Amino acid sequence: MSAKTDKMVTVPKAVINRLPMYHRFLYQLLLEGKEKISSQELSQLMRITSSQLRQDLSYFGEFGQQGYGYRVETLYQAISGILGLEKQYTAVIVGAGNIGRAIVNYPGFSRRGLKITGIFDNNPKNIGSQVGNLTVMDVEHLADFLKKYPVQIGIVSTPVQAAQKVAYILMKSGVRGIWNFAPIMLEKNGDVVVEDIHLGDSLLTLFYRLNEKEGKN
Amino acid sequence: MSAKTDKMVTVPKAVINRLPMYHRFLYQLLLEGKEKISSQELSQLMRITSSQLRQDLSYFGEFGQQGYGYRVETLYQAISGILGLEKQYTAVIVGAGNIGRAIVNYPGFSRRGLKITGIFDNNPKNIGSQVGNLTVMDVEHLADFLKKYPVQIGIVSTPVQAAQKVAYILMKSGVRGIWNFAPIMLEKNGDVVVEDIHLGDSLLTLFYRLNEKEGKN
DNA sequence: TAATATTCGTGATAAAATTCACTTATAGAA
DNA sequence: TTCTATAAGTGAATTTTATCACGAATATTA
Ligand SMILES: NC(=O)c1ccc[n+]([C@@H]2O[C@H](COP(=O)([O-])OP(=O)(O)OC[C@H]3O[C@@H](n4cnc5c(N)ncnc54)[C@H](O)[C@@H]3O)[C@@H](O)[C@H]2O)c1
Ligand SMILES: NC(=O)c1ccc[n+]([C@@H]2O[C@H](COP(=O)([O-])OP(=O)(O)OC[C@H]3O[C@@H](n4cnc5c(N)ncnc54)[C@H](O)[C@@H]3O)[C@@H](O)[C@H]2O)c1
């Protein structure tokens, strides 16, 4: 074990945000059948510095071997473990619109251990319809459903106007995390973890960067 | 004008990434009819410090008034201008699947000046079908289409296996920015701006944070 | 087996980002 | 009109993040 983990140094946020990227690249390397890789080589693929890669990993332990590098398989497993991917996570989706459907239909999430157990909507047109192998339920039954079948994660993909209300129901019903797609900063209720996806913000950042470049020419 | 902009200090990345959040909150305040706001009050809504807010804005100019605060309208317009939202942006989407359709159908983007002029796919089942008021075209015609009707932005929402190939076509055809939804680090070709949305990474971050909390109890 | 080249892990240093704390301006009250 | 409270803007200090650079371990070659 590394000195750093022994000393209980808190892991910087910036490091945590890079863990999924490491996981993604290692998964790719694994698919390609690559057995070993050095911090030098891996960091070049990721367009970061090798020292950043080594420093980041050092927060969690020692996974490589001097003079050799890292075994791709070992490092992949280690990072999977750090991220908690050996566990299964259960979730419900609220909002069976475009985003809600996209999530259900995306196979990548179940591969990573996410099991979606229910999808809810308030529109009679959607209620009862099939999304993947789930039947859309009435959001009126959300709290009851969660009482019977608790889940860890609530996915909010309703329009922004409904998002806070829905989030409160989820939090009251005991979800521990919310994955939020609505462009709103959700008020918390208890110690739930909220992870936001703000697609609009990402687009505006792209706009800014396009103009920035223009200005320099 | 602020001293900082005069001196041509480069704007930190972290600041740029917060601009869309400012825009989002100010838009909300505008809808609510709020006329003025102090850095104190606005920063509390955003859960940042007031000095960070003031420091961030100072990279672009002086938008407030001492002893008074900021006019919501003025600041909103200023940030819209910084982000380049007065302009129209044209884009094509490649990959008429769940994400591609979600983007076309989302009204928030056209409100921000994004005009989607074409959507492409390689699956005969999708080609010719209607998405919003666009007809899905064959990706074989993508390069020709862009020669006739150039756009600034290419949106990549194909499966990861096709993403790089599609991105090269877009870049060759002169797009200046790529908004990428595939879980891959795209190789660039020229000085195109690539903005990634890695939904999977966000989910893994949520997983990590859920476990982190558990460990502390 | 010995010599040499790799490459990790990490303490130290540098850079970037955030917060502090103070000056100045001005709004609003007396 | 004067006084007081508010609040922006900003240089400086602090904190956080990233990079450097080197010692120690190991692989590989001669
Ligand atoms: N689609 C995009 O590209 C995009 C981009 C940026 C942000 N978003 C955000 O993601 C969220 C979902 O977007 P979308 O495109 O899937 O929207 P959508 O309109 O396709 O789907 C929203 C669904 O939520 C349902 N709904 C409304 N009120 C509800 C309630 N109270 N309880 C349960 N269900 C309810 C609607 O019936 C609808 O089916 C929105 O908040 C949107 O702002 C989407
Ligand atoms: N849906 C999600 O929740 C989600 C989550 C994480 C990542 N993503 C990523 O977003 C991207 C899009 O996801 P999606 O769910 O919309 O996938 P999807 O399978 O629904 O849609 C992909 C579309 O691309 C088309 N396509 C395939 N090859 C093509 C090519 N060469 N040229 C043009 N079109 C082509 C397919 O026919 C399909 O219509 C994928 O890269 C996926 O990994 C999606």
Partner residue opposite A200 with nearest CB, options B112, B198, B207:
B112
Ligand nearest to the CA of B116: 1
CB-based contacts of B133: which residues, under 8 Å, 6+ apart? none
Q: Burial, A47: exposed, middle or buried (Cβ in 10 Å; 0-12, 13-18, 19+)?
A: exposed
Q: Does A108 sit in the ligand 2 pocket, CB within 6 Å? A: yes
DSSP secondary structure string, chain A?
A: --HHHHTTPPPPHHHHHHHHHHHHHHHHHHHTT--EE-HHHHHHHHTS-HHHHHHHHHTT---EETTTEEEHHHHHHHHHHHHTTTS-EEEEEE--SHHHHHHHH-HHHHHTTEEEEEEEES-TTTTT-EETTEEPEEGGGHHHHHHHS--SEEEE-S-HHHHHHHHHHHHHTT-SEEEE-SSS-PPPSSS-EEEE--HHHHHHHHHHHHHHHHHH-
- Which residue is closest to A203 within chain B, CA to CA? B179
Q: Does B131 sit in the ligand 2 pocket, CB within 6 Å? A: no
Of B22, B9, B79, residue with least CA distance to B48: B22
- Rounded CA-CA distance B116/B101 in Å is 11
DSSP B64: -
Do A126 and A96 contact (CB within 8 A), yes or no? yes
Nearest residue to nucleotide D15, by CA–C1' distance, is A12
- Rounded CA-CA distance A155/A56 in Å is 29
Chain B residue numbers touching A81 (CB-CB < 8 A)? none
- Tell me how far the alpha carbon of residue A156 lies from the centroid of ligand 1, in angstroms: 8
Q: What is the pLDDT along chain A (217 residues), one digit of tens a residue?
A: 344 444 457 899 999 999 999 999 999 999 999 999 999 999 999 999 999 999 999 999 999 999 999 999 999 999 999 999 999 999 999 999 999 999 999 999 999 999 999 999 999 999 999 999 999 999 999 999 999 999 999 999 999 999 999 999 999 999 999 999 999 999 999 999 999 999 999 999 999 999 987 765 4
- Give the residue whose CA is nearest to atom 6 of ligand 2: B199
Ligand nearest to the CA of A132: 2
Do A155 and A129 contact (CB within 8 A), yes or no? no
- Rounded CA-CA distance A165/A168 in Å is 5
Chain A residue numbers touching B208 (CB-CB < 8 A)? 16, 19, 82-84
- Rounded CA-CA distance A145/B88 in Å is 45
3-class secondary structure, B59: coil
From B106, B131, B179, mutation site for ligand 1 pocket: most ligand atoms within 8 A of C-beta: B106
Residue appearing with tokens 């001293």: B3
Using the beta-carbon criterion (under 8 Å), do A179 and B201 form an inter-chain contact?
no
Structure confidence at residue B215 (pLDDT): 66
* Chain D nucleotides covered by protein, CB below 7 Å: 5-12, 16-21, 23-28
Structure confidence at residue B213 (pLDDT): 74
Chain A residue numbers touching B193 (CB-CB < 8 A)? 206, 209-210, 213
Q: How far is the CA of A37 from the C1' of D29 (A)?
A: 20
CB-based contacts of A196: which residues, under 8 Å, 6+ apart? A180, A181, A185, A186
- Domain annotation for chain B: domains and CATH numbers: 2-82 (1.10.10.10), 89-201 (3.40.50.720)
- Rounded CA-CA distance B165/B162 in Å is 6
Q: What is the pTM of this model?
A: 0.96
Structure confidence at residue B6 (pLDDT): 45
Chain A residue numbers touching B187 (CB-CB < 8 A)? none
| pLDDT of B52 strictly over 60 | yes
Q: How far is the CA of A79 from the C1' of D20 (A)?
A: 26
Q: Please write the tens of the pLDDT for every residue from B144-166.
A: 999 999 999 999 999 999 999 99
Could you count the other beta carbons within 10 Å of the beta carbon of residue B105? Answer: 13
Using the beta-carbon criterion (under 8 Å), do A202 and B210 form an inter-chain contact?
no
Q: How far apart are the first and last CA of chain A?
A: 51
Q: Give the pLDDT band of residue B1 (cuts 50, 70, 90).
A: very low
Structure confidence at residue B21 (pLDDT): 98
Q: How far is the CA of A69 from the C1' of D28 (A)?
A: 14
| Chain mean position to CA B16 | 11
Ligand nearest to the CA of B106: 1
Question: Across residues B76-102, what is the average pLDDT?
Answer: 97
Using the beta-carbon criterion (under 8 Å), do B83 and A198 form an inter-chain contact?
no
Give the residues surrounding ligand 1 with Cβ less than 6 Å away: A 94-100, 120-123, 126, 139, 157-160, 162-163, 166, 181-183, 199-200; B 102-103, 106, 108
Q: How far is the CA of A50 from the C1' of C3 (A)?
A: 27
Nucleotide nearest A4, CA–C1', reads C10
How many Cα atoms within 13 Å fall on the side-chain side of residue B143? Answer: 8
Using the beta-carbon criterion (under 8 Å), do B210 and A177 form an inter-chain contact?
yes
* Shortest-distance atom of ligand 2 to CA B184: 41
Q: Give the pLDDT band of residue B5 (cuts 50, 70, 90).
A: very low
